[in-house]
């Protein structure tokens, strides 16, 4: 494949490709808001038809459909899987946005919108790359499978079942996943090869039937206190998780994995800057902080609700209290098992009355650093960005790659055109237009390099 010819086609068609991203981000597609998500699905189907000439298939259980398309290329013994999702998270507080969250406004070379960096940019980039290869008159050098999830932001609840029903469809020799980014100021591309798993739960405590005056506090049990007491048994002040068996079976981190942190390229101070804190938990610094960020499991409180928190004072004993928690898990931990251990833990500490609802499961996944796929990625990144990528063994976050890649241990690489300050999930999510164009070239380069790799 003549990559230079493809790059030239991309440059000549940049306006059309930028418009495609604007069209994508202007269509709201919050996973739980069905009509919007249906409209986005139809938009993606139309674009796949127009940009690849193939007809996407809908794979469905109860939730939003996974869109699946197979493209035949020259080399039939090599398959590149491409995973993206067409849903987004809700915009959050609109007044905090510089421009309306679905406007797709471009200001000073930056496109602002929900979905601009997570991950309608990557979704569009790869379709544009396929369009450019075809329209430049080049033959697709390998087989490509396009997989578009409609529920990634809510934990991809249907994906395992869909994969189990169609295992051959999801087989590939490597997956170009979504979710990577680059360091700001034209820094290196960060390619992550795995992700932590996650268990999300909500815990409910019921006291009386209704909120009552706090004069009754000597007699009426307070569910907010009960929840606080229960939570205090889960983690101590030294950041140790106290659930029996929680740490059992964790796969030890290898020296190669530690070496792959390439400390010089990741600034362990970044999370301080992002969150506005001065010291990390436990006072860790430098490489210790990075190891903790990437390799340790967590028990996190996302939010708590109970009683009255409004401006005026109102003394009452609330009737109900609830908390949402997420547990980020590392290889060797199974989310369903952790859910059982948590239930057992609550019961053992006398909290049998606390209702526990599991919201989602996702197992952890890591692929190796030395596959031919990773070699192809490094070569492609060096070609497009003029620098070797920073290979990161795992994300600190979660992605449902295990649902597709676990059985065949398919190597995965998270690549994305955004940067680490793209405000993903926050107000003012954005992407640099030039990074978006580079992202299209990167997708074309990966297709080319992976076809040429042994
Ligand atoms: Zn997301």
Q: Helix 433-452 and helix 14-26: axis angle, to 10°?
A: 110
Q: Please classify residue 332 by burial: count the beta carbons closer than 10 Å to its beta carbon, then call 0-12 exposed, 13-18 middle and 19+ buried.
A: middle
Å from CA of 429 to ligand 1 middle: 11
Query: What separation in Å is there between the alpha carbon of 302 and the centre of ligand 1?
Result: 16
Within-domain flag for 284:
no
Residue 263 within any structural domain of the chain? no
* CA proximity to 201, closest of 318, 56, 322: 322
Residues 347 and 437 in one domain: no
With tokens 């949402």, the residue in question is 324
Q: How far is ligand 1, taken at its centre, from the CA of residue 88, in Å?
A: 6
Question: How far, in Å, are 171, 266, 283 from residue 277 at the CA level?
Answer: 43, 18, 12
Q: How many residues does the chain have?
A: 454
Per-residue pLDDT tens, the chain, 454 aa: give them. Answer: 999 999 999 999 999 999 999 999 999 999 888 888 999 999 999 999 999 999 999 999 888 999 999 999 999 999 999 999 999 999 999 999 999 999 999 999 999 999 999 999 999 999 999 999 999 999 999 999 999 999 999 889 899 999 999 999 999 999 999 988 898 888 889 899 999 999 999 999 999 999 999 999 999 999 999 999 999 999 999 999 999 999 999 999 988 788 877 655 667 888 898 789 999 999 999 889 999 999 999 999 999 999 999 999 999 999 999 999 999 999 999 999 999 999 999 999 999 999 999 998 899 999 888 788 989 999 999 999 998 888 888 888 899 999 999 878 899 999 999 998 899 999 999 999 999 999 999 999 999 999 998 8
Q: Give the end of a domain, one of 362, 384, 416.
A: 362
221 and 132 part of one domain: no
Residue 303 sits in which domain range? 197-250+297-362
Last residue of a domain, one of 362, 385, 419: 362
On whether both 409 and 341 belong to a single domain, the answer is: no
Task: Give me the pLDDT at residue 265, please.
Answer: 61
Q: Cα(35) to centroid of ligand 1, in Å?
A: 20
Rounded to the nearest whole angstrom, what is the distance from the C-alpha of residue 334 to the centroid of ligand 1?
A: 22
Is residue 286 included in any domain, yes or no? Answer: no
Transcribe 256-312 into DSSP letters: HHHHTT-GGGS-TTHHHHHHT-SS-GGG--HHHHHHHHHH----EEEEEEES--SSS
Provide the domain count of the chain: 2
Q: Using alpha carbons, select from 133, 117, 257, 129 the residue that is nearest to residue 178.
A: 117
> Do residues 61 and 157 lie in contact, with contact meaning Cβ atoms separated by under 8 Å?
no
Specify whether 321 is located in the same domain as 403: no
Q: Are residues 166 and 232 in the same domain?
A: no
- CATH code, 102: 3.40.630.10
29 alpha carbon to ligand 1 midpoint, in Å?
12
DSSP state of 19: H
Q: Does residue 291 belong to any structural domain of this protein? A: no
| Bridge partners (DSSP) listed for residue 80 | 144, 174
Whole-number Å distance between alpha carbons of 239 and 266: 24
Neighbours of 16 (CB within 10 A): 10
Q: Are 33 and 91 in contact (CB under 8 A)?
A: no
Q: Which long-range contacts (CB under 8 A, 24 or more apart) does 333-340 make?
A: 333/197, 333/246, 333/249, 333/250, 333/297, 333/364, 334/363, 335/197, 335/198, 335/199, 335/361, 335/362, 335/363, 336/361, 337/245, 338/199, 338/243, 338/246, 339/199, 339/201
Output the CA–CA distances (angstroms, integers) from residue 68 to 112, 137, 166, 258, 333, in the order listed.
28, 24, 11, 36, 30
86 shares a domain with 106? yes
Same-domain check for residues 356 and 427: no
Same domain? For 125 and 181 the reply is yes
CA 119 to centroid of ligand 1, rounded, Å: 7
For residue 335, give the CATH number of its domain: 3.30.70.360
**CB 390 within 8 Å of CB 265:** yes
Task: Say how many Å lie between the CA of residue 212 and the centre of ligand 1.
Answer: 40
Distances (CA, A) of 281 to 91, 185, 231, 248, 327: 30, 28, 18, 23, 17
pLDDT number for residue 268: 81
Q: Is residue 143 part of a domain?
A: yes
Same domain, 332 and 217: yes
- pLDDT, residue 262, reads 67
- Rounded to an integer, what distance in angstroms lies between the CA atom of residue 418 and that of residue 442? 13
CA of 440 to the centre of ligand 1 (A): 20
Q: Which pLDDT belongs to residue 281?
A: 94
pLDDT value of position 264: 53
- Say what the pLDDT of residue 270 is: 81
Contacts of the segment 419-424: beta carbons below 8 A, 24+ positions apart? 419/117, 419/181, 419/182, 419/183, 419/184, 419/187, 420/181, 420/182, 420/183, 420/184, 420/190, 420/270, 421/184, 421/274, 422/116, 422/117, 422/118, 422/181, 423/117, 424/117, 424/118
In angstroms, rounded to a whole number, what is the distance separating the alpha carbons of residues 192 and 181?
9
Evaluate whether 183 touches 190 at the Cβ level (below 8 Å): yes
Q: Is 266 contained in some domain? A: no
Give the Å distance between the CA of 275 and the centre of ligand 1: 18
Judge if 447 and 437 occupy the same domain.
yes
Specify whether 215 is located in the same domain as 105.
no
Say what angle helices 3-12 and 14-26 make with each other, to 10 degrees.
70
120 C-alpha to ligand 1 centroid (Å): 10
How far apart (Å, rounded) are the C-alpha atoms in residues 168 and 375? 25
64 in the same domain as 75 = yes
In the reported structure, the alpha carbon of residue 438 is separated from the centroid of ligand 1 by a whole-number distance in angstroms of: 21
What is the reported pLDDT for 269?
Answer: 84
Which of 362, 386, 411 terminates a domain? The answer is 362
């Amino acid at each position: 494949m003549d990559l230079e010819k493809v790059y030239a086609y991309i440059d000549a068609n940049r306006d059309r490709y930028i418009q495609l991203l604007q069209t994508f981000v202007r269509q709201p597609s919050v996973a739980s808001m069905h009509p919007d998500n249906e409209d986005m699905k139809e938009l993606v189907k139309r674009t796949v038809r127009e940009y690849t000439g193939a007809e996407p298939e809908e794979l469905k259980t109860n939730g939003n459909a996974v869109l699946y398309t197979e493209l035949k290329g020259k080399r039939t013994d090599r398959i590149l899987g491409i995973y993206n999702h067409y849903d987004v998270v809700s915009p959050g507080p609109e007044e905090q946005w510089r421009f309306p969250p679905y406007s797709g406004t471009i200001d000073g070379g930056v496109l602002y919108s929900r979905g601009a960096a997570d991950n309608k940019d990557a979704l569009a980039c790869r379709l544009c790359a396929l369009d450019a290869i075809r329209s430049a008159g080049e033959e697709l050098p390998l087989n490509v499978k396009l997989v578009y999830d409609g529920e990634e932001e809510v934990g991809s609840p249907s994906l395992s079942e869909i994969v189990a029903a169609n295992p051959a469809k999801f087989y590939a020799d490597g997956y170009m996943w979504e979710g990577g980014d680059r360091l700001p100021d034209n820094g290196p591309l960060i390619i992550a090869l795995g992700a932590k798993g996650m268990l999300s739960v909500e815990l409910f405590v019921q006291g009386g039937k209704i909120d009552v005056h706090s004069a009754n506090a000597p007699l009426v049990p307070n569910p907010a206190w009960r929840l606080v007491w229960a939570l205090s048994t889960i983690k101590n002040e030294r950041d140790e998780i106290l659930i029996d068996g929680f740490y059992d079976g964790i796969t030890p981190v290898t020296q190669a994995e530690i070496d792959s942190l390439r400390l010089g390229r990741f600034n362990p101070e970044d999370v301080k800057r992002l969150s506005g804190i001065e010291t990390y938990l436990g006072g860790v610094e430098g490489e210790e902080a990075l190891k903790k960020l990437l390799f340790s499991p967590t028990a996190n409180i996302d939010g708590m609700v109970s009683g009255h928190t409004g401006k005026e004072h109102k003394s009452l004993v609330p009737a109900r209290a609830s908390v949402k928690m997420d547990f980020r898990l590392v290889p060797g931990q199974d989310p369903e098992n952790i859910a059982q251990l948590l239930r057992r833990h609550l019961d053992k500490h006398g909290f049998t009355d606390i209702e526990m609802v599991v919201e989602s499961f996702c197992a952890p996944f890591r692929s190796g650093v030395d596959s031919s796929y990773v070699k192809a990625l490094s070569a492609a990144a060096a070609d497009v960005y003029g620098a070797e990528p920073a290979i990161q063994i795992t994300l600190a976050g979660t992605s449902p790659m295990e649902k597709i890649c676990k059985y065949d241990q398919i190597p995965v690489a998270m690549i994305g055109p955004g940067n680490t300050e793209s405000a993903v999930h926050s107000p003012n999510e954005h992407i640099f237009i030039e990074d978006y164009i580079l992202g299209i070239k990167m997708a074309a380069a990966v297709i080319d390099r992976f076809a040429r790799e042994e």
